Structures are given as C-alpha cells and as structure tokens.
Amino acid sequence: MWVWCLVFGLVVKGAIIVPVQTDRFTRDTFINVSLSGFNEGNAFPILVHLGEQSVIDARLFDGNDMISSSNIVIESMNGVELLIPDFLVVLHSDMNTRLSTLGIGPGSWFVESHGPVNLVHTMHGRSLVINSTYFEQESCQPDSVIVMPVDTVTNTVPQAEFKLNINGQNIVETEPVLSISLSIVGSYMGLPRVIASVAADLLASHGAVGLVYDESGTFTSFRNCTSSMISTLPDIVVSISDNSGIAFGYIIQAPDDYIQFRSGANECAFRFSVALTNERPWMNPIMFEGVNVRIQNTSISFCDPIEQ
C-alpha cells in the first residue's frame, strides 16, 4: 500500500529541481513561473499536467498577444533558470477556466527537449526534478518500481483489471480492460461503474446516506460518515498487465487515498470519478498521493518513496 511519506534528501547532479505546490482538495499540481520581458520577478502559478502542449492565458497580461514572443521562465531551487519557448497563447472568455498549463506528458515538447521529469517527495516537500538521470536509485524503495509503456498516439497505457480487496481477498473484480487512458486534467482516476457502485453500497450499508450522484447514477458523496466507517472499506487495486495479460505491477489505493472526509460535517466524498459505459477508465499519475512518478517519452514509472 502506498502511503504519504515526506522523506529523503535529494541531490542530483545536473538536474533542475523545482518546488511544487499541490492543492490538498483537488490534488492539482502547480509550479511558479514567470514570463521573460513581462513579469520577471513576479511569478504566477501554472498547472502541471500530462498533456503535450503548454498554454499561457493572455488574461494574466491584459490580453497582450506579444507574450507569444516571450519564454516561460522556470526558476529552480538550485539557481538554474529554464526557458520554455514553445507554448500557446489563449484568451478565454470564461473567467472560471484555468488555462495556464505546463504540459510534461510522454511525447511532449518539454520531455523531448529537457529529458525525463520526476515528481518526487523530498525533505523540502514535493519537487519537480527535470533532466534527472536517476529515479530508482535516488527516489524509490527497493523493488517498488512499476514502468508502464505509453502509446503516445492514443494516450493510453496497457490493459488493467480493477478490484476491491479486503484483507487480501477480492470482493469484486472487473474483466480485463484492454487499455486505460491517461487523464490530462480532472479527477485522478475514473473507475468502472461496478467498482464505484460496490464501494458506495458498502458505505450505505454502514449507515452513510447518499447526497449527490453522478451521470452514471452512482452516489459519490455522503452524509453520516465517520472515520471508523471509512476504515472498513476495501482497497482499490489496479492490476497493470502487458499485452499478453501478464500482470507486472499493482497500484493500490487505501480508503484514505480515495475518500475525502470532512469530519466537522460528517460528510465524505469519493475522490475518483466513474467512467461511463462508453468511456475508458482513466488515471492521472501526477495526482496520486504518496508516490514518486517519472515521465519519459514513451513511459511513466511509479514507485514508493524512500523512507528516512
């Protein structure tokens, strides 16, 4: 089981280390950047995601389209500035839409130009490590690394099975899903309805009352929740397999990982979404708590952080 660990010192020669901020409710990940010639010295947050393209919202600069001739400037903890010239400029009328993004997904200009990107837990908090030649040796507990090949044309990873597991026993599991999508933004996982429905039914059997349901008809938030009730729920296990169906790794999410509990209101809500019948299940590795992630041109790796 992956758990939250803030934990080890990180010294990587030649790497660029950038501090990361994570929204504790949405799990969105941000770094601070500036634009050369416009707001140097005045950093603003930009959303880090698994897409291929980076975007700057021109509303931040009064709609000035001259920013297209600038560079995104990333300032690192070790005093190195990294310039990103390749981005789109967008002026959007919806003031609730967050458009400034940094795409670091497999096949992105960023990864192709600057090498592998690691999102790791360090003594400073979570950090983005750019151009690192190390991952397993510097960042991971022994034998915990999973390497998932990524099809950058379809933005998918190999087949998977989804299971609910209590004390080592599967209480429900799906048929193998031939591929799962990588999500750029939104919730950190989109699960098959059968998995979400059983988890919701288990909460209800302990006395939780459904408040809100989604498009699939599955309740996703509840009242009358308690921490002891949540602790009785199963782990969500995602078994990742190669094209021949042989499992080579597991992603395990405990109830505390996939449920947000508001103790003052005795309310709880699933952090995941429910994939509709015509949708592939999905995951957003950047948003997983308590794991280190490495993004390369054709793969994404996970591991448990080193404890210290």
CATH code of the domain containing 158: 2.40.70.10
Q: What are phi and psi of 177, to 5 degrees?
A: -95, 125
CB atoms within 10 A of CB 167: 7
Question: Do 62 and 112 belong together in one domain?
Answer: yes
Between CA 102 and CA 88 the distance in angstroms is 10
DSSP 3-state of 20: coil
Name the maximum alpha-carbon separation found in the chain: 59
Give every CB contact of residue 298 below 8 A, 6+ residues apart in sequence: 106, 107, 149, 150, 152
Domain boundary among 139, 171, 201: 139
Structural domain count of the chain: 2
* The last residue of a domain, from among 109, 139, 169: 139
Closest CA to 304 of 286, 290, 289: 290
Q: In terms of Cα–Cα distance, which of 113, 111, 70, 112 is closest to 89?
A: 70
The answer as to whether 29 is a domain residue is yes
Residue 124 and residue 21 share a domain: yes
Structure token digits, residue 58: 């021109």
In a domain? residue 161: yes
Structure tokens at 43: 């950093």
Query: Which range marks the domain in which residue 235 is found?
Result: 150-287
- Picking from 139, 165, 180, the residue at the C-terminal end of a domain is 139
Beta bridge partners of 295: 117, 300
In a domain, 121, yes or no: yes
Q: Quote the Cα angle for 29-217-273, to 5°.
A: 15
Say how far apart CA 2 and CA 28 lie, in whole Å: 19
Helix count and strand count (H, E) for the chain? 5, 27
- DSSP bridge partners of 74: 33, 82
pLDDT of residue 125: 79
pLDDT value at 141 more than 60: yes
- Average pLDDT (94-123) is 82
Whether 108 has a pLDDT exceeding 80, the answer reads: yes
pTM of the model: 0.83
Sign for the pseudo-dihedral over CA of 195, 197, 203, 206: negative
Q: Do 185 and 222 belong to one domain?
A: yes
Shared domain check, 203 and 126? no
Q: Residues of the chain with pLDDT > 70: what percent?
A: 86
- Give the model confidence (pLDDT) of 19-57 as tens digits: 999 888 788 899 988 887 766 567 888 899 998 888 887
Interval 254-302: pLDDT, tens: 999 999 998 888 999 999 999 888 888 999 988 888 889 999 999 999 8
Q: Are 182 and 284 in contact (CB under 8 A)?
A: yes
The answer to whether residue 272 is domain-embedded is yes
Residue 60 has what pLDDT? 65
In a domain, 220, yes or no: yes
Asked if residue 2 belongs to a domain, the reply is no
Ramachandran assignment for 99, one of left (phi > 0), alpha (psi -120 to 50 degrees), beta (any other): alpha
Is the same domain home to 198 and 237?
A: yes
Q: What phi and psi values does residue 219 have, to the nearest 5 degrees?
A: -65, 135
Question: In Å, how far are 131, 141, 271 from 261, measured between CA atoms?
Answer: 37, 29, 10
| Res 206: pLDDT | 93
**Mean pLDDT for the chain overall:** 82
Q: What is the DSSP string of 278-308?
A: TS--EE-GGG-TT-EEEEETTEEEEEPBPP-
Check if the beta carbon of residue 115 is closer than 8 Å to that of residue 130: yes
267 lies in some domain: yes
Residue at 6 is within a domain: no
> What's 72's domain CATH number?
2.40.70
209 shares a domain with 130: no
3-state DSSP helix/strand/coil % of the chain, to nearest 5 = 15, 40, 45
